[in-house]
Structure 1
Amino acid sequence: MQHDRSFTRVIQKQVGARYLLFLPEGYGADPAQRWPLILFLHGAGERGSDLSLVKRHGPPRLAEERPADFPFIVVSPQCPEGETWDADVLLALLDEVCATYAVDEERIYLTGLSMGGMGAFDLALTAPHRFAAVAPICGAGNPLRVRPEHAVLPFWIFHGDQDEIVPPAMSAQMVEALRAVGAPVKFTLYPGVAHDSWTQTYANPELYQWFLQHRRHGAATA
């Protein structure tokens, strides 16, 4: 079965979600093959009803520009205007995508920038056993929500040390709280970088290599 690699979907379940979907080269050639998935959460500036805004930054943009470099299914929902990320909506979206496409559910990765970094922290803390690894960028979370069950989930957290929109201390607090319960955490603090710490992060192939080193429940790949 042949698929276009990039297209728009709308789902309506108990909740609704509009999203972009990218399918990697070779998808569908082997019906038995399961593919890793990246769930990308955009920032506040891309909210609304124009899905093209979602491709301004990050994995949906890079997957379209360099499809050969992306061996992932990429799911990029759009948050409605005036709202913030809702964990129930995002989990319903994941359920729909996993039921419809050839997703390797042991290799689902979560990332987001700014408001999306906040959404990534929130979703990871809400459903830690759903993801294999998480990369929040210039985001913030609630360290009081961190519990021992979050120790199963690897994090790579990114922030610019000159960020005046979301202070880097917000990421540092999450790093401290996650490490306190034993979660494997990497923290990259970019010197001299303001709020846009996502451009260099998403352009770095090491991020995607790091994703692929992890499977759900903390079991590293061979």
Structure 2
Amino acid sequence: MTKRFYNLINLLLAIVIFAGLIQTALRFVLGASLFLQGSFLTFFLVEFGVALFMTAFVMKYYWSKQYKLTFFAAGLWVIISVIHASIIYLTLSNFQQHPLYLTTLQIQVAVSVVYGLCLIFSNAGNRFWLRIAGIYLIILNVPTILSVIWLLQDQSVHTSAAIEGFAPWVSLFASLAPVFLMLNFRDEIKQLEEDSKTQAAKSFSEQWYAVAIIMGLAVFAIGFKLAQDAYLSRHWAEQNFKQTKELADKFEARIFVGSKGDTLYYRLLKPLNYDTTKKYPLLVSLPYGGQPGTDKIRQLEGAAAAELLSSKENREKYPAFIFVPNCPAGSGWGGIPGYPSVDSLVFEAITSLNSEQGLDVKRRYVTGISRGGYGAWNFISKRPDLFAAAIPVCGGGDPAFAARAVDVAVWAFHGEHDKNVPVSGSRQMIKAIEKAGGHPKYTEFANEGHNIWYQVSITSGLWEWLFAQHQD
């Protein structure tokens, strides 16, 4: 081992710390929505690649020092980390939790603890900073262990929200874990009398230094792009908040407590010039919200149909009750495998509105975008008895249950090149309903991505079609 070798490892460790701090800082700003940024997957792959490259040199160090137990523990950790990282990649790519996610996470945590124990109690523990690194690694896994146990016992929305609340802090401390390895290699350098002077050693290390520098530049460049995406996301979030605040101000804030004691916050707008002797439809506009539980306004974000139809002009043209449920943090409206849902609670709340004078129970409609689009498909698949029509936008569902919605009028929309929600989700649901004997309408915008609401909103005849639907 030479000074140049140890300096190379410390350079790689510094890059790994830098990448981890970038991700942590942005997660404090955006929360879990960081993972939805367009450049995050690329950043994730580069960050993980650098970590693997660094670990290879650390393992070489373990082997050369005869820390064989630690070497094999680190090797096992690398294998399970690659598997778990693959599961994370599939989860982020498909926008739904992979069924093996919790399993591989549990195995990774177990192996990490074993790795930490080897650093403490094997001959590697004779070095002070390696022993401290092992202790830190075990302590670092405690929050994850507790979170997994909590999730296995209770997969409710509140549990997911609570875990997401302290997740950035766990990420921060995890980002700093390599510091102890750096301190160990600093001590190794001090113990060396002099560096190797051979040309072969210099050539070898210079090649790896070049690779490390390229990796560092890649992390910086992609990290900058991710930060830029995060800034734009934050900017548009503030703009959306202003619009959502204006929307919320028009509506009456209400609270519904379900049969199991769960609480749903929602907003209700009654028809303009409300006449209790007349019959009005109920429009359920599902937001994609999912913001912190303390922010009841942001939880209404993305209720685009409610925003459009609550204007004075449209309230005169399409008089209706408009219902907007809050989307709690870490939850959705169903239809996304492995993701907590409050759909049953919303169904109860919708049914409770039957007591509103003038509400026509034969003319309930549901619509939503993205997460709300998934919800719209899920709602008519689970409770087709409640809805006369649905407008799912950029959503998806389970084709196996599509036949249940055969009697619900559907007009679905999707962008051909949607990278957030695969267009196959809408195509499969439409095909399944048609196969079951239904006649859904489907509009797919060529060369468009995820942001198609404007095109949807101005689609000729859409709203006239919706408000003409009723159950037999």
C-alpha separation in 2, matches of 1:143 and 1:59 = 25
Matched, 1:37 2:37: no
Higher strand share: 1
Structure 1 residues 191 and 151: alpha-carbon distance in aligned structure 2, compared to 1, 3 A threshold: same
Structure 1 residues 20 and 202: alpha-carbon distance in aligned structure 2, compared to 1, 3 A threshold: farther
Scaled by the length of structure 1, what TM-score is found? 0.86
Scaled by the length of structure 2, what TM-score is found? 0.42
Of 363, 377, 381 in structure 2, the residue corresponding to residue 121 of structure 1 is: 377
Of 328, 332, 338 in structure 2, the residue corresponding to residue 80 of structure 1 is: 328
C-alpha separation in 1, matches of 2:252 and 2:295 = 13
C-alpha separation in 2, matches of 1:97 and 1:210 = 24
Q: CA deviation at 1:101?
A: 4.4
- Unaligned 5+ segments in structure 2 are 1-248, 334-341
Q: CA deviation at 1:46?
A: 5.4
User: 4+ residue runs of structure 1 moved beyond 6 angstroms?
Assistant: none
- 1:89 alignment counterpart: 345
Of 103, 106, 109 in structure 1, the residue corresponding to residue 359 of structure 2 is: 103
Moved more, 198-207 or 162-171: 198-207
Q: CA deviation at 1:42?
A: 1.2
Matches within 5 A, 1:64-79: 64-66=310-312, 67-79=315-327
- 2:76 alignment counterpart: none
C-alpha separation in 2, matches of 1:61 and 1:191 = 26
Structure 1 residues 205 and 10: alpha-carbon distance in aligned structure 2, compared to 1, 3 A threshold: farther
SS in 2 for 1:26: coil
Deviations 1:133-168 (A, max 9, x none): 111000010001223x43211110100111101011
C-alpha separation in 2, matches of 1:52 and 1:62 = 17
Of 416, 424, 431 in structure 2, the residue corresponding to residue 161 of structure 1 is: 416
Matched, 1:7 2:255: no
Structure 1 residues 203 and 216: alpha-carbon distance in aligned structure 2, compared to 1, 3 A threshold: same
Contact 1:87 1:126 in 2 (8 A): no
Q: CA deviation at 1:63?
A: 3.2
- 1:177 alignment counterpart: 432
**Alignment length, in residue pairs?**
211
Q: CA RMSD in A?
A: 2.1
Of 424, 431, 452 in structure 2, the residue corresponding to residue 197 of structure 1 is: 452
Contact 1:6 1:64 in 2 (8 A): no
C-alpha separation in 2, matches of 1:152 and 1:64 = 28
- 2:390 alignment counterpart: 134
Structure 1 residues 198 and 48: alpha-carbon distance in aligned structure 2, compared to 1, 3 A threshold: farther
Structure 1 residues 154 and 146: alpha-carbon distance in aligned structure 2, compared to 1, 3 A threshold: same
Contact 1:87 1:123 in 2 (8 A): yes
SS in 2 for 1:178: helix
Structure 1 residues 49 and 19: alpha-carbon distance in aligned structure 2, compared to 1, 3 A threshold: farther
Matched, 1:62 2:308: yes
Q: Percent identity?
A: 27
Q: CA deviation at 1:58?
A: 1.2
AA in 1 matched with 2:322: V
Moved more, 73-82 or 52-61: 52-61
C-alpha separation in 1, matches of 2:409 and 2:416 = 22
Bigger radius of gyration among the two: 2
Higher helix share: 2
Contact 1:36 1:104 in 2 (8 A): yes
AA in 2 matched with 1:82: G
- 2:271 alignment counterpart: 24
Deviations 1:172-211 (A, max 9, x none): 0001001001112111001222111223323446222111
SS in 2 for 1:189: strand
Of 23, 35, 50 in structure 1, the residue corresponding to residue 295 of structure 2 is: 50
Contact 1:41 1:120 in 2 (8 A): yes
Moved more, 77-86 or 60-69: 60-69
Moved more, 64-73 or 88-97: 64-73
AA in 2 matched with 1:73: F
SS in 2 for 1:188: strand
- 1:220 alignment counterpart: none
